[in-house]
Amino acid sequence: PGISVIFEGSREEFFPKLMAWAQESGASCEGFEIANFAGEGFGLRATKDIKAEELFLWIPRKMLMTVESAKNSVLGPLYSQDRILQAMGNVTLALHLLCERADPSSPWLPYIKTLPGDYDTPLYYEEEEVRHLLSTQAIQDVLSQYKNTARQYAYFYKVIQTHPTTSKLPLKDAFTFDDYRWAVSSVMTRQNQIPTEDGSRVTLALIPLWDMCNHTNGLITTGYNLEDDRCECVALQDYKENDQIYIFYGTRSNAEFVIHNGFFFQENAHDRVKIKLGVSKSERLYAMKAEVLARAGIPSSSIFALHCSDPPISAQLLAFLRVFCMTEEELKDYLVGEHAINKIFTLGNTEFPVSWDNEIKLWTFLETRAALLLQTYKTNSQDDQCVLEKPGLSLHSRVAIQLRLAEKQILERVVASGKAKRLHFQQQQEEGAPLPRYEESDIALLENAEADDKLPIILRKLEEEDDQAAVEQVLAQVQQLGQGGTARDLAPLIVNGDSGKVVVNGNGTDASLTEDASPVLEVGDASPIQEAGKEASSISSDAGRSPKSHPNPLPLSQFITVVYLQAAICYFLGDLTKFT
């Protein structure tokens, strides 16, 4: 137990060597210094005035630790034969980091010695600290992260001891779970995607010095200059001498910040909670609703977001709810009515309600659904605020309770917003206000609002074979509807995996690696910069599972014990695939 390689001296003592190495390597080192900021840890401090959009920091490729540098290192022979390393760049980086940490001649030691000795990610939480998260949406991802990290460790422990290509690995003599937990957290809080040297694809990288910047709200200000082959960062805003220099990590929710960065950001303008909604396939109007949604580029079942801002729903969720609440006649109008094709694209525009009744239904539904989700928590907002005021609360406990409280506050805002909207449209209906008429010149594509995180814009997503048959019947059904017919106005709703059942934590997400080629995002000290590769602690095959009730039926202490036992058993059996 414990970290195998410990450097003599404090982290702060190694910062001058990091700056000297950066200067020797061709990085920018003027205009800022590394400093300790109360409450935020280490970051960059301006030593002169810096103007907004001024290029102040660049890091050449030779300083970066990448999947490519791992291939060319002592880890290369194992990488060439191990499918997990080939599929998961973040795991490759974690082992690369450990190998270089154990090598006294590593060129990256000036950087590695400045990394924290431990982190505030949930991998470092005590059992009682994790308990504060049991009623949050984040709990499933937290437990999956822990399980997957243990599973990876068991797998690579055996590989390192038995695989013929690992004889020269420095990890062969010392590779503890604490080592791997540290490496996973280091990568998870710092990794970023950059282009490969030829620019043909992207690769994961750790970017020394630049990853010291802390997070604030703003815009992405970092990119990669292929011509000069370096990472470049311009100032997010004007900075005076002695100001802390911030960057923007991306539009992450606080749940993502807590799980993958290890901190809670109080002023998060992009905070949100997830809600899984879908039109039930058993509902008679399913085919019609699925077709209208498909024409709008929205799946008939998906995970949406409820935002902390006003309005709390995106244009996509508004469009989904409008279709979900449509009557049969309204569906006909959007399928075969005049200008039906163009009208589809006004579904996400607040200026063009389907009908006053439709608006009342959707906001009533949203108000009720958010209220039901609030009831799934074991504490209320007042309880959480009282606990946060108590002295002696550990940092991890405080962060967990802050996250729990933030989720409730978002849902409370949704309830209030839903009620206000419902009353407004009821008044419009009672007063006989004219419905805004659609004009072809007013066509607006799904309103210029932010899309839900990870919600693809697709024409159609057929998840099961019977979907295809159902949709193939749409044209025939539409023709029949032109001759009359009746159907129910509202379809049963699938909420977080169960029709007519509310499960706040059963969002079906897992800490699995996603390999999308997203643009460069931002990171800071103890904080990840890469949205797509953030889940460094996962080789899970159970992504997309949707737990039906509680994601962890065992007491937490038993769960953790079982994780370790499963990992050990699978190691001795030689079959990690049995560890689920």
Domain with CATH 3.90.1420.10 in the chain: 272-499
Please provide the distance, in angstroms rounded to a whole number, between the alpha carbons at the two ends of the chain: 24
More confident residue, 332 or 542: 332
| Residue 476 clears pLDDT 70, i.e. is over it | no
Tell me the range of 59-63, 450-454, 455-459, 490-494 where mean pLDDT is highest: 59-63
pLDDT digits (tens, 9 = 90+) for 490-545: 333 333 333 332 222 233 333 333 333 333 333 333 333 333 333 333 333 333 33
Q: Over pLDDT 90: what percentage of the chain?
A: 70
Q: What is the pLDDT of residue 234?
A: 96
Mean pLDDT, rounded, for 324-345: 92
DSSP 485-550: ----SS--EEETTEET---SS------------PPP---BTTB---STT--TT---S-TT---SS-
Residue 575: CB atoms within 10 A of its CB come to 10
pLDDT digits (tens, 9 = 90+) for 560-570: 555 555 655 55
pLDDT digits (tens, 9 = 90+) for 267-324: 999 999 999 999 999 999 999 999 999 999 999 999 999 999 989 999 999 999 999 9
pLDDT digits (tens, 9 = 90+) for 181-193: 999 999 999 999 9
Confidence of residue 444 (pLDDT cuts 50, 70, 90): very low
For the chain, the average pLDDT equals 82
Angle made by CA atoms 156, 131, 128, in degrees to the nearest 5: 85
Confidence of residue 556 (pLDDT cuts 50, 70, 90): low
Angle made by CA atoms 255, 148, 165, in degrees to the nearest 5: 135
Tell me the C-alpha distance between 416 and 250, whole Å: 28
List alpha helices for 215-327, DSSP H: 254-256, 286-295, 315-324
Tell me the C-alpha distance between 471 and 294, whole Å: 10
| Residue 329 clears pLDDT 50, i.e. is over it | yes
pLDDT digits (tens, 9 = 90+) for 64-81: 999 999 999 999 999 999
Q: Kindly state the DSSP code that residue 450 receives in the 8-state scheme.
A: P
Tell me the C-alpha distance between 402 and 285, whole Å: 42
Tell me the C-alpha distance between 30 and 437, whole Å: 59
| Residue 481 clears pLDDT 70, i.e. is over it | no
Strand arrangement of the beta sheet that strand 55-60 belongs to: 55-60, 230-234, 222-225
Query: Which two structure tokens, joined as six digits, stand for 162?
Result: 């038995």
More confident residue, 439 or 518: 439
**Contact predicate 80/279, CB 8 Å:** no
Element (H, E) at 558: helix 556-573
Angle between helices 177-188 and 89-101 (to 10 degrees): 120
Cβ partners under 8 Å of residue 296, min gap 6? 319, 323, 344, 345, 347, 348, 446
Whether the link from the prior residue into 551 is cis, omega within 30° of 0, is: no
Quick check: helix, strand or coil at residue 319?
helix
pLDDT digits (tens, 9 = 90+) for 111-125: 999 999 999 999 999
- Give CB contacts under 8 A, 24+ apart, made by 429-437: 429/356, 429/357, 429/360, 433/356, 435/353, 435/355, 435/356, 436/351, 436/352, 436/353
Confidence of residue 559 (pLDDT cuts 50, 70, 90): low
Least confident of 39-53, 55-69, 321-335, 490-504: 490-504
How far CA 375 is from CA of 135, 236, 504, in Å, comes to 11, 40, 9
Q: What is the pLDDT of residue 445?
A: 45
Q: What is the pLDDT of residue 440?
A: 53
CATH code for residues 16-266+512-578: 3.90.1410.10
| Residue 15 clears pLDDT 70, i.e. is over it | yes
Confidence of residue 332 (pLDDT cuts 50, 70, 90): very high
Least confident of 126-135, 218-227, 345-354, 518-527: 518-527
CATH code for residues 272-499: 3.90.1420.10
Cα dihedral 187, 510, 195, 247 sign? negative
Strand arrangement of the beta sheet that strand 214-215 belongs to: 32-37, 41-46, 244-247, 214-215
pLDDT digits (tens, 9 = 90+) for 250-272: 999 999 999 999 999 999 999 99
Mean pLDDT, rounded, for 227-234: 96
Query: Which two structure tokens, joined as six digits, stand for 379?
Result: 């504490």
Q: What is the pLDDT of residue 175?
A: 95
Cα dihedral 202, 271, 123, 376 sign? negative
Cα 249 to its chain centre, rounded Å, is 12
Q: What is the pLDDT of residue 235?
A: 97
Domain with CATH 3.90.1410.10 in the chain: 16-266+512-578
The residue to which tokens 């470092």 are assigned:
124
Tell me the C-alpha distance between 561 and 395, whole Å: 24
Q: What is the pLDDT of residue 3?
A: 81
Confidence of residue 226 (pLDDT cuts 50, 70, 90): very high
Q: Over pLDDT 70: what percentage of the chain?
A: 75
Q: What is the pLDDT of residue 4?
A: 82
Q: What is the pLDDT of residue 338?
A: 83
Q: What is the pLDDT of residue 379?
A: 94
